[in-house]
Amino acid sequence: MTTRRKFLTAAAATPAAALAAPAIAQSTIRWRMQTYAGPALAEHVIDPAIEMFNKIAGDRMQIELFYADQLVPTGELFQALQRGTIDAVQSDDDSMASPTEVTVFGGYFPFGSRYSLDVPVLFNQYGLKEIWAAEYEKVGVKHVSAGAWDPCHFATKDPIRSLADMQGKRVFTFPTAGRFLSQFGVVPVTLPWEDIEVAVQTGELDGIAWSGITEDYTVGWADVTNYFLTNNISGAWIGSFFANMERWNELPEDLQTLFNVCCEQSHYYRQWWYWGGEAALRVNGTKMELTSIPDEEWATVEAAAREFWDEIAAESEIKAQVVEIFKQYNADMEKAGRPYRYT
């Protein structure tokens, strides 16, 4: 497996033309892509899409996929993509530290969504797609496609049954989620993805607020935590596919279309994989006990989220525009009622 050190050593010792030499045919376009996910999670969130792309593209183009932190740390993914060190990325805006006005909304924007279908509707019908495209074009990156992942729940060693139980909890989470949760006494901790399981075992972390229960079981976190909080601060993670703008513009139109189609297929796969998994593991899972914070107490967290939205909106015109879209969308869903929102 290629490591970051081996990759950089090879890059320094090998001429650029040789490094980019295709493995299948001399004319094959070859991309390097890194995902935020480790191998166990990538098996579901990205591997099928890239395998499909490579199979269909054949000798015309091949994408070599690298997992979390293999070439560069997740926090440096944007810089590597912008420079062209990596040709494509699958990540959220927040954890890869994109220098855009929309970065704060990637990953888990508190209570921005209730269900996974909210994300594609927000992007395709409420205007977020155009805003993301414009913001990334400003910094030389192609925003290819956004989709929904799982909700954001706490998985912890000790039970959380009230807001008081969050006090002092050292939790691995996303930057914006951590910023929001810190007002409830949560201590956000940033570590490499592959170190999380051991950090929980050694006591460096008290828990994780990075995923739903499907990922907890898939990546091994359910083996080192004892409790799963059913309340969540977001119904779906917003993640995206990105490409270096120059590399993207060099592709023939049909290969751009193929990449888009495979990204959309990836979004669809996650819709049912997460949705079914979240329910099945709550009902049939045996590794974690489910806990809940009473609705009336959790309502204070939801109220705090709306104040947080206004705080974000005050930072720039673009952020205010996006927050207004979230407000309008959620208001529409509340008026629509069941099954869109439960009022």
**Spatial separation of the C-alpha atoms in residues 73 and 285, rounded to whole Å:** 32
One of 1.20.1250.20, 3.40.50.2300, 3.40.190.170, 3.30.310.50 is the CATH number of 4-103+110-148+237-278, namely: 3.40.190.170
Tokens of 213: 């229960």
Nearest-CA neighbor of 231 among 300, 173, 152? 152
Output helix, strand, coil percentages for the chain, rounded to the nearest 5: 50, 15, 30
> Tokens 């739903």 appear where?
212
pTM recorded for the entire structure: 0.90
CATH architecture of 153-235+285-336: 3-Layer(aba) Sandwich (3.40)
pLDDT by position in tens, the chain (length 343) = 344 444 444 444 444 434 444 445 679 999 999 999 999 999 999 999 999 999 999 999 999 999 999 999 999 999 999 999 999 999 999 999 999 999 999 999 999 999 999 999 999 999 999 999 999 999 999 999 999 999 999 999 999 999 999 999 999 999 999 999 999 999 999 999 889 999 999 999 999 999 999 999 999 999 999 999 999 999 999 999 999 999 999 999 999 999 999 999 999 999 999 999 999 999 999 999 999 999 999 999 999 999 999 999 999 999 999 999 999 999 999 999 999 997 5
- For the chain, give every domain's residue range: 4-103+110-148+237-278, 153-235+285-336
Integer angstrom CA distances of residue 341 from 6, 22, 212, 273, 301: 50, 50, 20, 22, 18
**Spatial separation of the C-alpha atoms in residues 340 and 338, rounded to whole Å:** 5
Nearest-CA neighbor of 32 among 72, 85, 83? 85
